[in-house]
Structure 1
Amino acid sequence: MQNTGSRKTSSIEKRSTEAKEGKEEFREPGFWETVKEALFGVRRPLDCIQVEVTSRCPGRCIYCPHTTLRDRWRSRDMEISTFSRLWPLMRRSARVHLQGWGEPLLNPAFFDMAGLARRAGCQVSTTTCGLCMDETIALRIIDSGIDIVAFSLAGAKAENNRSRLGVDFDRVCEAVSTLQAVRQKHMAVHLEIHFAYLMLASNMEAVRGLPALMKRLGVHASIISTLDYIAGPGLEAEAVGPMEPEKIERAEAILSETSAEAVRMGLGFHYELPDSSADGTSCRENIGRTLFVSADGSISPCVYVNVPAEVADPRRRVFGNVLERDPLAIWESDEYRQFRESLASGRPDRACQSCPKRFM
């Protein structure tokens, strides 16, 4: 019997080497293809590919599995050769979001990845803690064509952002100001600066200070979310679940008032809370048109079912690895398709059954 596994590994290694050396060719959209896409729209069945360019992070946020599972965490960077295998998917996706369970700007190949995604015709965005930001990085972001950079927050002042241990609030504000200054200097109107704000149940009132902070720093929009991944015992209290009407009512009152203030100031302010009356057949992660690729190349429906830790996780769902199989074939596989259809039909996979994102 021939060793087909060895032959496959050899082919993968050869492709990886070629990608690293810049020999592997990726056909960019030609002139007429670009015109056709502009006039009629390219057939892109995927809205977004979320890519974990690294699982390394300098932060120690109390609500994150990077902190609660730190003894078993797998810190790793995605190789550019692994990212290059996503080309067929990128040509069929509107956006590539470069961020997973880590700080994306720590990966030395980050801007190579952004460039390749842009060549595929995708919009490119990222979420950062801000600790790596300086003028050089800011200029590279401007030049890369990235259109959204979101900075993570869990409070609008230093005293109510303390859940983000290791990520100094003033340093984040400095990072936003640095990127904004470079953006304005180079008239980079294509780039929007956002806040990705986590509203914890014990810290709801803090969000009221967000519009003023946005105005001061020139942030265009904020996306407000609540804790929906319970990374350790006791963190359930910080979540806002679909069966917690009192928490939902309080959060809605605060967010609706804060949203109205933001709108009066000409700022974007977006939030969505769990709804106990929802039928649970959809998902805020939009798994029917998005997917997640971990740093090792494995493909999953979302970040919550592919946490990079050496633990027995019953929620873990991986449908293939781009180093072993064509990513389009993984997306179109019967197993993956059935997973997506099970949610839409009201019979969600076990991994999704208790997820609050089904009720948003």
Structure 2
Amino acid sequence: MRKRDFPSLDWIQIEVTSLCGASCFYCPHTIYKDRWRHGSMSLETFKHIGSAFEMAKLIFLQGWGEPFLNEKLFEMIEIAKKVGCKVGLTTNGMALDPETIDHLLDLKLDILGISLAGTKSETHNHLRAGTDFERITQSLMELKEKKAGKNASLPEVHLAYIMLKSNFEDLREIINYAKRVGSKDVVCSNLNFFPSHQLRKEAIFLDEPKKNYYYETLEGLKGKAKENGVNFFFYSPFLAAPMPLCPENILRSCYISHDGLVSSCVFTNMPISGKAEPGHIEGKKEGFPRSILYGNINHQSLSEIWNSDPYKSFRHIFEVRQKGIKEDIALVIDAVGFQVSEKQKIDVRNDHPLGSLPDQCRNCYRMRGV
């Protein structure tokens, strides 16, 4: 593959398996279990992607399943690390036994993300059935101890917290928990897809009366995190106007499913048979972003797929939107004669119609900033 055929990417996200032993009540894997396409990526398929690794800063081994259920995971990490990439994954934490922890330390995995839905067993175990908060915590404590014993900085532990109405109060302890288990990074995400209608009541960004409360609480936690040397990032509890650019960074990343199918993001490549059930946004019918696939890595190189006409046409829409932002901000600067404020920049960014988006993105909550 020639370097000029493939740009520098921030990351390639790879679903090494769609299998999972947990039954999180909000997850498509649980809701659509009768239609789920189960499978794990073969080492051969992974090696097909390997020719593109040198073009990416990060290889993230995470999709719609639990990465440690792929028996070739350690070999995959080793392959990507040898190329010189950073390598990360997100796990439910149940596979972090002493032997696995030793493997991750030896491989120098860069990022170990841990999915959480609470800061106490009662909350987490209820929302993420099949996982055990105390067991996960003990594993993270063991990892922290072994890192200290080896004077190792890797893997960095990132806590990935799903924000729901029913677990929001648990967040107040997340900074203390992060310090306890040796994590310096916390990311709080919204439930932004509803595989069943009843899950809508869990979305904090649809809880109009309490939006300011959620925001003020999160800002307070951000301040506490800074005081304690923890990086704290949260997605907004406010449903914004359509954003000009996708938060999934589709101009500088791609997603590959366990069976080699390439898409722009994880949301357009869910392993189910048939369509996801529709919901409603502001009274209008919505659904999961349509499955849009640009090729299979088992039959084409990633550079060929990336440079295919359909994929280029999709990205072009966002390139135009990106160009429009820069031009609009430049016009404001020329008009007022000084640097525009962040608020003015946000106003410009939000002044983009939903209708100009690709069809598969128009009903996606990610495009609304949550």
Q: What's the CA shift string for 1:42-78, capped at 9, x where partnerless?
A: x962101111111111110000011001111122110
Equivalence for 1:211: 175
Equivalence for 2:246: 283
> Contact (CA 8 Å) 2:163, 2:204: kept in 1 or not?
no
> Contact (CA 8 Å) 2:147, 2:154: kept in 1 or not?
no
Q: What is the rounded CA distance, in whole Å, between the counterparts of 2:208 and 2:306 in structure 1?
A: 37
In terms of mean alpha carbon deviation, does 280-289 or 340-349 score higher?
340-349
* Residues 1:92 and 2:55 are matched in the alignment: yes
Q: What is the rounded CA distance, in whole Å, between the counterparts of 2:86 and 2:261 in structure 1?
A: 22
* Residues 1:348 and 2:312 are matched in the alignment: no
Q: Alpha-carbon deviation of 1:302? A: 1.2
1:168 paired residue among 120, 132, 137: 132
* Residues 1:271 and 2:234 are matched in the alignment: yes
Q: Alpha-carbon deviation of 1:191? A: 2.4
Equivalence for 1:12: none
Aligned residue type for 1:68: I
1:295 paired residue among 237, 253, 258: 258
1:261 paired residue among 215, 218, 224: 224
* Residues 1:194 and 2:158 are matched in the alignment: yes
Aligned residue type for 1:88: S
Equivalence for 2:195: 231
Q: What is the rounded CA distance, in whole Å, between the counterparts of 1:353 and 1:245 in structure 2?
A: 22
| Residue pairs, 1:56-205, within 5 angstroms | 56-161=19-124, 162-205=126-169
Q: What is the rounded CA distance, in whole Å, between the counterparts of 2:138 and 2:207 in structure 1?
A: 37
* Residues 1:327 and 2:302 are matched in the alignment: yes
Equivalence for 1:249: 212
Equivalence for 1:222: 186
Q: What is the rounded CA distance, in whole Å, between the counterparts of 2:312 and 2:200 in structure 1?
A: 31
Q: What's the CA shift string for 1:195-222, capped at 9, x where partnerless?
A: 0111113322221110111112121211
Q: What's the CA shift string for 1:209-266, capped at 9, x where partnerless?
A: 101111121212111111112222211222244x765454232111111121121122
Aligned-CA RMSD value: 1.9
Q: What is the rounded CA distance, in whole Å, between the counterparts of 1:169 and 1:190 in structure 2?
A: 22
> Contact (CA 8 Å) 1:276, 1:359: kept in 2 or not?
yes
Equivalence for 2:14: 51
Q: What is the rounded CA distance, in whole Å, between the counterparts of 1:93 and 1:175 in structure 2?
A: 30
Q: What is the rounded CA distance, in whole Å, between the counterparts of 2:197 and 2:98 in structure 1?
A: 40
Aligned residue type for 1:116: I
Aligned residue type for 1:257: G
Q: Alpha-carbon deviation of 1:160? A: 2.0
Listed as ranges, the gaps of 5+ residues in structure 1 are 1-25, 27-42
> Contact (CA 8 Å) 2:251, 2:318: kept in 1 or not?
no
Q: What is the rounded CA distance, in whole Å, between the counterparts of 1:249 and 1:273 in structure 2?
A: 11
> Contact (CA 8 Å) 1:339, 1:348: kept in 2 or not?
no
Q: TM-score, normalised by structure 2?
A: 0.81
Aligned residue type for 1:179: L
Q: Alpha-carbon deviation of 1:163? A: 0.8
Q: Alpha-carbon deviation of 1:349? A: 1.7
SS class of match (2:161): strand
Q: Number of paired residues? A: 318
Q: What is the rounded CA distance, in whole Å, between the counterparts of 2:316 and 2:291 in structure 1?
A: 18
Aligned residue type for 1:99: Q
SS class of match (1:91): helix
> Contact (CA 8 Å) 2:215, 2:237: kept in 1 or not?
no
Equivalence for 1:318: 293
